[in-house]
Structure 1
Amino acid sequence: MDLDAYLAERRGEWNRLETLAARRKLSATESDELVLLYQRAATHLSVVRSRTPDPVVLADLSRLVLAGRAAVTRGNRFSLRPVADFVLYRYPAALYRTRRWWATLGILMMVLGAALTWYVAVHPDVIALLLSDGEVQQLVGTDFVGYYSEFQAQNFALQVWTNNALLTAQCLASGVLILPVLYLVGVNLLNTGLTGGVMFEQDAGGTFLTYLAPHGCLELTCLFIGAGVGLRIGWAWISPGPTLSRRESLVAWVREGMVIAIGLVPTLAVAGILEAFVTPSALPAPVRIAIGVIVWLAFLAYAIGRGGWAALETDRNRSR
């Protein structure tokens, strides 16, 4: 084989491969061309090695093939595109598709919680069965407000985040059995309702709302989302619908639940930051409440507004 003629004939392809391999971004056409030139260069290297193993040519061609291989496989490197796709499409779309479950559960729990708080507040005998006078005074005088500043803010935020994430995860994971979700939400409702009832009965209802509203709107919404989606997962095998088997329906909704579980992690982190840094801060009460409500409304706009658009786009792409 005439090595010089062989090199001259293929030099253009090799130069083009080297150019494409050095670029950070390629179009779809250039990516296809890169793969094709890399495969050809690997074949050329094999031919040269078997017929005229010139060490200089082999070294240059081997370097080029390695560069081409690295360029072809570099798509496996970390990219922010999947993160953006999750934040902009998958997570809000999943929230929107399950909105009827978590919104209905949330409204129901808030009504029951308000009713329980009112009942305890107007029935002191119920409080007497659960707490002594000293315990009531300690709760109202120091424990309720002191809870939010007992630890350093960053440590408290981490503790709150961990506890809330664990509770939400339990609601999602136990949803297939239905009843455990209702138990977990019911216990949380009972604790909040009893505490609120005691505070209102002692004329400290304003303090209760001031310290609950800044973080509670978002925090409770996350809990209702976890519980509502958990119930939806459980309902998937009870009533799978006309087109899916029970297994297919359950698997589909478990996947949707996993998306929401991942998305709730940073959402609960925001709620933890509010509870640790905003709720016990020295800001005026209306400002603290306003911050919590604005963050909560922004999340609802993301879940319903952005979620509706993302769900529509996702369905369109699937139908193509």
Structure 2
Amino acid sequence: MDIDAFVATHQYSWARLGDLTERARKLKQMSPHELDELVGLYQRTGSHLAHARVAYGGDEAIVGRLTFLVAEAHGILYAQRETDVRRAVTRFLVVTFPAATWSIRRFILVSALLTLVPWLVFQVWIGVSPDAFDLTGDEAVTQAYIDNDFESYYSSQPAQNFASQVFLNNVRVAVLAFAAGILLCVFTVFILAYNGANVGVAGGLFTHVGEWERFWGLILPHGLLEISAVIVAGAAGLRLGWSVIAPGDMTRWDAVTAQGRAVGNVVIGLVIAFAVAGLIEGFVTGRPWPTSLRVGIGVIAFVAFWGWTLVYGKRAAAVLDAEMR
């Protein structure tokens, strides 16, 4: 095909590509049909440009024209994609996640009790009972744990490696607590109670020997946020399990599917909380800084998390309700 025939055959599609590109630039937003058409013409004109460079490379006018059209459309399409991604991420952070968390607030209360009650029971029991203290293990091992092992754990690796390890472990626990809810909540209840009891045992050991301040100084900087996030993940699992126990007017499969999509957003959002908790545990908890500073950082993270998930979550839920009306 000679160059005149090539131009005559494709000039309409090139002109249409130019029109759609200009329209997208002015309106900033296009209908799905127009966007599909723009993508198709962009891809087709890109192949025309490749052909023109090989067959008509000496004709700078046609190659230049097609290069300009493809470059302009490329800029519009990728800018649109980046805008859509930013918009989706922003909406998830300010509406979807906090609203989903607010929707399971009653299950968060249950999850908190399942975690904190065993913690309190074991910490008080071991803290005040010599017999309970002796039952925790060999005296030499227990003393080494109190004197050195518990604290040295937080500085046992380079901070970035330790933070990554903690983050991955916390995400694993959260996903397990969530997924286990499908089994009628039983395993989620066990995971929450077990985690709470473990922390309670550690706290009880330190309390028994009069070093409770050192325990809280090491556990609170990262633990306030970390344990909060685990509690919320457990609440998501409990909500999922409750949809099996009491599906309402829906079939159990439909109820689980619907709740899985809804509370699954909670678990996805918690990844951010676990990342922050991991950074605090890796870069703050084990540092030789004043206890007030380390705990203060933990308190700030704690307040920000609950403000985001519950205080702001109530407002986000209202936004979603208004949109659905």
Q: Same fold (TM over 0.5)?
A: yes
**What is the aligned partner in structure 1 of residue 89 from structure 2?**
83
Partner residue, 2:299: 293
1:199 aligns with 2:206: yes
Map of 1:210 onto structure 2 = 217
Deviates more, 1:262-271 or 1:104-113: 104-113
- Structure 2, unaligned stretches of length 5 or more? 46-55
2:149 aligned residue: 143
Q: Residue 253 of structure 2 aligns to which amino acid in structure 1?
A: R
Please give the TM-score of this superposition, normalised by the length of structure 2: 0.79
2:196 corresponds to which letter in structure 1? L
- Equivalents in 2 of 1:248, 1:30: separation in Å? 35
Change (3 A) 1:206 1:33: closer
Match of 1:166 among 164, 167, 172: 172
Whether 2:271 is the aligned partner of 1:271: answer no
What are the superposed Cα offsets for residues 191-233 of structure 1, whole Å, 9 maximum, x if unpaired? 1111111111111111111101111111001111111110110
Write the letter of the residue equivalent to 2:206: M
Give the distance between the partners of 1:203 and 1:35, measured in 2 at CA: 68
2:251 & 2:18 partners in 1: Cα distance?
A: 52
Maintained 8 Å contact 1:34/1:68 = no
Query: What's the TM-score once normalised by structure 1's chain length?
Result: 0.81
Kept after mapping to 2: 8 A contact 1:38/1:68: no
- C-alpha change, 1:69 and 1:163, in structure 2 (3 Å) is same
- The residue number in structure 1 matching 2:52 is none
Identity of aligned residues (%): 29
126-135 or 161-170, which deviates more: 126-135
Instruction: Give the AA of the match of 1:94.
Output: A
Match of 2:235 in 1: 228
Two-structure CA RMSD over aligned residues (Å): 3.4
Deviation at 1:110, TM superposition (A): 1.5
Structure 1 gap segments, 5+ residues each: 46-54
The CA deviation at 1:107 is 3.6
* Alpha-carbon distance, 1:138 to partner: 0.2
Letter in 1 for 2:81: R
For 1:1-320, list aligned pairs within 5 A: 14=15, 18=18, 20-22=20-22, 25-27=25-27, 77-78=81-82, 79-177=85-183, 178-242=185-249, 244-319=250-325
Q: How many angstroms apart in 1 are the aligned matches of 2:75 and 2:283?
A: 47
Q: Is the 8 A contact 2:25 2:76 kept in 1?
A: no
Aligned residue for 1:317, secondary structure, equals: helix
Check the 8 A contact 2:115/2:197 in 1, yes or no.
no
CA distance in 1, matches of 2:188, 2:25: 48
Shift of the 32–140 alpha-carbon distance from structure 1 to 2, 3 Å rule, reads: closer
Whole-angstrom CA distance in 2 between matches of 1:179 and 1:278: 35
Structure-2 change in CA distance of 1:37 and 1:208 (3 Å): closer
Structure showing greater Rg: 1
- Say which SS state the counterpart of residue 120 (structure 2) adopts: helix
d(CA) in 1 for partners of 2:35, 2:120? 64
Shift in Å, 1:149: 0.8
1:127: how far off? 2.3
Deviation, structure 1 residue 140: 1.0
Q: Deviations over 1:11-54 (max 9, x none)?
A: 9x94x862551576442786689669979x99xx9xxxxxxxxx
Given the superposition, is the C-alpha separation of residues 145 and 21 from structure 1 closer, same or farther in structure 2, using an over 3 Å criterion?
same
CA distance in 2, matches of 1:83, 1:312: 19
